[in-house]
Each structure stands twice: as C-alpha cells, then as structure tokens.
Amino acid sequence: MRITVVGSGYVGLVAGACFAEIGHDVILVDNDFAKLAELKNGCVPIHENSLPELITTHSGTRLSFTDDLPAAVSASKAIFIAVGTPPTEDGNADLSYVEQVACGIAGAIDEYKVIVEKSTVPVYTNEWVRRVMVLNGAPHELFDVASNPEFLREGTAVRDFLFPDRIVIGADSPRAQKVLQEIYFPLTSGRYYESPTARLRSVNGKASPQLIATSAKSAELIKHASNAFLAMKISFVNAVANVCEHVGADIEQVVQGIGSDSRIGKRFLRPGIGYGGSCFPKDISAFQAVAAESGYDFRLLEEVRNINESQRKGFLRKVRRALWNLKGKRLAVLGLAFKGGTDDIRESPAINIVQSLLREGCTIAAYDPAAMERAKAVLRGTIRFAEDAYDAAHSADALLILTDWEQFTELNLDRLKKELRFPVIIDGRNLYSPDNMAKAGFVYSSIGRPDAFPMTLTHGLLRTAASFYGSGVDAVEYAS
Ligand code: NAD
C-alpha cells in the first residue's frame, strides 16, 4: 500500500522505515529541510539500532522523503501523523502541529483516505482532526480519522515496531479498520517473520502480535493509560527503594521477590534517578489534564510525578553525602541521554542533575556514547565533553552513573580507579553490585541498597564514611 508518514522524528522515521520493510511504499514528509537533506543524502539524523540498515536498504525504492505534503497525500491511501505533541505550560498536549498537518492534508483529499494519528494525543483528538479537515475543505465522506498509537521504545524502536506485543487500531468505521488491518497484515499474519528477506529475526521466537481493534477514543486512551501505568511502576519501585534505604534492605532483592509474581512482572521495576524522555513526563501531564477536563481528579498521577522529581533530589543528596561541599568538586558523569541506547536528551534526568551540580559549583566532565552532540546544544561551554568514560574520570573526585548504557556495565574498574582522584562512585542506575564494587576498592553508593566501602579504608575512616553516608551499621565492609 502507498502510505504517507508526516513527521520524520523518532517515531515517524522508524514507522516509515518499518512500513517499507514489511512491504509498503512509503513517503516520509517533514518540514525540517535540514533533516530532509540529511535523509536524502543517506544520513540518519537519530541514533537508533537497525534504523540505518533499513533506511539504506529501502531509500529510493520503497522509501522516499519530501516536504510536499499535498503530493504525498494525493498519492497515498493512508496518512499517518507522527509529529510532536510537546507539553504546554499548563501540562496539556500542544496539538498545534497536529492541527497544522490536518489542515495541510485537508486540501489534498481527492479520493477515500484514512488519516491515522500515530502521535500520542489526548482523547477526542480524532474528532478535532475530523472537524478541522472538514472546515478546511475535505469532503467528509472521503476520509476517516483513526488512531494507531505507537508503543516503541527509543533504543529498541525498530525491533519494538516489527515485533510488538500488540497493535492497537482504533477506528469508528469498518472501512478504516480494514485499511489498517491490511497495513499490519504482514505482521499479524506472521508473513513478514517467515519472509527470507526480512532483515530482523525474532530473538525469542515471539509469535505474531495480537491485533486489538477498538474505537478511536479507546485507542487514544490506551496510549495515555499505558504510559501512565509504566511511569507508575517506575515511581512505585523508586518509592520502595527509598523505604529500603531507610531500613537497610536491598531493592534488587525486593524487586526479584515482587517481580517474580506473574501478576506483577519484573519489567519497569528498575530503581534509579527516575524516568525522563519525550514521552512519560508529557504524557502523564496530558493524561492528568484530560482527566481533569472530563471531571476526574487523577491524583495518583500527581504522586507518580512527585516521586519521580524527588528521585533526582535524593540523588543530589547522595552526591553531597559522598563529597560534603560540592563547590569546586570535580565530577565525572557517565550518561547524558534520558536512557541507554538513544541520543535523545529531552527531559533527561541526567541533564537535569548535571545542571543542578553546575549550579552548586561543581566542575564536570561527561561522556555519553551517543548523546554528546545533542547535549552540546544545552551544555556547551559549561562542562567538558570527554572522549570516553576513563577520560571523564581523570582526576575526578567522584564518578556518577546517570544513564543505563549497556557499555557502562562493562567498565574496566582497575583503570577507572587509577583515573579517579578518589575511588568514589555514585550509581543512579544500579549497574553494579555493591559487593563487587567494594571488592574492587570503591566507595559505592546506589539506589535502594546499602552503601559499600572497601576495607582498604582504615577502620576509623570507614566508620566515619559509613555514618557520613547515613548508612550506619548497614554499610557493607569488604576485604579488597
Ligand atoms: P520528534 O520531535 O522526534 O519528531 C517530530 C517530527 O515532526 C520532526 O521531524 C518535525 O520536524 C516534524 N514536524 C513537525 N511539524 C511538522 C509539519 N507541520 N509537517 C511536517 N513535519 C513536521 O517527535 P517524536 O519523538 O517522533 O514523537 C512524535 C509523536 O510520537 C509524539 O506525539 C510522541 O509523544 C509520540 N511517541 C513518541 C515516542 C518516542 O519514543 N519518541 C514513542 C511513542 C510515541
């Protein structure tokens, strides 16, 4: 099928490349000329696993890029809107980009088409899109508006798109439902997975995804409710981690215990410095705002946000406990992206913490495997961008781990210790075991677990350090 995807960002670009991969002809539309020029030159403007391979394979054949929205609409049967829906000051979703695209599509409707919301939007948006299009001259009988929320995660976006848990298609007309079913047929039928030309293979023998057909409103709500639930899981585990710190329990053991219950599950029960990114913070605010407008006060979500905020503050307290005065201290920071596997720094807790530490007078050298270029836009001139983790650690008073990059779990600890001025690590992502870090000679503080100290510190110093850390008798001593 000929499909247009409007918006070539983290979602649109992945969706477009994956639609091409499963056999459709895709026109990607964007109004960012610099981005379009990069794409036309074969460059991929975002860091996302497997995306460059798909774009290289399909560009010029099943995948093309343009700024000409009317021509793309005219040539397509389905038009996916995947533009940004950032938060407004009052927490609502800013739908002006969606409206702009809806107006642009309206004038080019010359035969039946399905307009699909791929962007995350509040309930009722489909009705607004329809209204705006009719007002802008689209014949009402020549189009339907459907909702097809996207559940991909940055870092594993291509795999998530091609091997999803479920595909939700929300459409109020059977005709639109049929078009969407046809688009996803290569996945729901399993045909793509059996194809010899498929570029990605299932890693765990995952079966074809379930197709969930709903009303457009339900689909819009499914997306907001899913993200709110996931954020709630993260805040829940962080709240439990705080209790663990107070009583001297170990959150990782607690998570193993609760997550093994199949009703709960281990995923998204990862304690840390809180969630960030372009989705959870804004989607929770927007969901809360939508609920309030409809007359329901969704206070649970307020607490999810409060807990998330307090994780960052709690982490800063740990840094102060480890180093006493922060003014003039040199810190190494590992990770600037909001999570591992992506270059996205939008609402990144790591950036937020770096900015707080700068305000307190620290000097910072930071390293991130993919997000340095984007981080330079907000931090240029305020920190040193290091060559690698060891360069960041050079002469630092402590090392902070702020993003859960896979490669930060495999650091050469001896080398790191030699680079650091003091062997102090404060891990906001629980990437290491306190036992191993203490054995490696580090004073190690993490989230929801007792701090660990090496025996190389004299007993007196150890006791001072232990009480200084607020861990008292629960601090763990190790012979190194
Ligand atoms: P993004 O900012 O990376 O991309 C948006 C793109 O739309 C940009 O390239 C921009 O130039 C383009 N654009 C804006 N206005 C346009 C217009 N009038 N015409 C053509 N192009 C236009 O955003 P994103 O992260 O891809 O998110 C898009 C939507 O998908 C949001 O609603 C988001 O909440 C949702 N979503 C994001 C993720 C994620 O992980 N990023 C996951 C699921 C859903």
Summarised one tens digit per residue, pLDDT across range 374-430 is 999 999 999 999 999 999 999 999 999 999 999 999 999 999 999 999 999 999 999
Cβ atoms 86, 282 nearer than 8 A? yes
CB 356 within 8 A of CB 312: yes
> Angle, to 10 degrees, between the axis of helix 251-259 and the axis of helix 216-247?
140
Tell me the percentage of the chain whose pLDDT exceeds 70. 95
Q: Which of 27, 83, 150, 374 best tests ligand 1's pocket when mutated (most atoms within 8 Å of CB)?
A: 83
Pocket of ligand 1 from Cβ distances under 6 Å: 6-12, 29-32, 35, 82-85, 97, 100-101, 119-120, 150, 152, 154, 278-279
The Cα 460–Cα 457 span in angstroms is 8
Q: How many CB atoms lie within 10 A of CB 212?
A: 13
d(CA 418, CA 426): 17
Q: CA 348 to CA 332: how far, in whole Å?
A: 17
**Ligand 1 centroid to residue 35 C-alpha, Å:** 13
Q: Report all structural domains of the chain as residue ranges with CATH numbers, in order of start.
A: 2-213 (3.40.50.720), 223-306 (1.10.1040.10), 312-479 (3.40.50.720)
Phi/psi region, residue 268 (left: phi>0; alpha: psi -120 to 50; beta: rest), is left
For residue 101, the ligand 1 atom closest to its alpha carbon is: 18
What is the whole-number distance in angstroms between the Cα of residue 96 and the centre of ligand 1?
A: 12
pLDDT, greater one: 467 or 120? 120
Q: Which residues contact 451 (CB under 8 A, 6 or more apart)?
A: 434, 443, 444, 445, 466, 469, 471, 475, 476
Tens digits of residue pLDDT in 59-77:
999 999 999 999 999 999 9
**Comparison of pLDDT for 462 and 316, the residue scoring more:** 316
Structure tokens at 168: 């939700």
CA–CA separation, 5 and 11 (whole Å) = 10
Decide the pairing of beta strands 143-147 and 113-117. Answer: parallel
Q: Give pLDDT, residue 456.
A: 66
Beta bridge partners, 330, equal: 363
Q: What is the mean pLDDT of residues 90-111?
A: 96
Q: Which of 278, 287, 344 to mutate to test the pocket of ligand 1 (most atoms within 8 A of CB)?
A: 278
- Per-residue model confidence (pLDDT) at position 458: 46
pLDDT > 80? residue 136: yes
For 53, the token pair is 């391979």
Whole-model pTM? 0.93
Residue 472 has pLDDT above 80, yes or no: no
Band (pLDDT 50/70/90 cuts) for residue 457 is low
| 191-223 per-position pLDDT tens digit | 999 999 999 888 777 779 999 999 999 999 999
Q: How confident is the model at residue 476 (pLDDT cuts 50, 70, 90)?
A: very low
Summarised one tens digit per residue, pLDDT across range 146-187 is 999 999 999 999 999 999 999 999 999 999 999 999 999 999
* Helices 372-379, 349-359: crossing angle, 10 deg rounding: 40
The angle subtended at Cα 315 by Cα 312 and Cα 319, nearest 5°, is 140
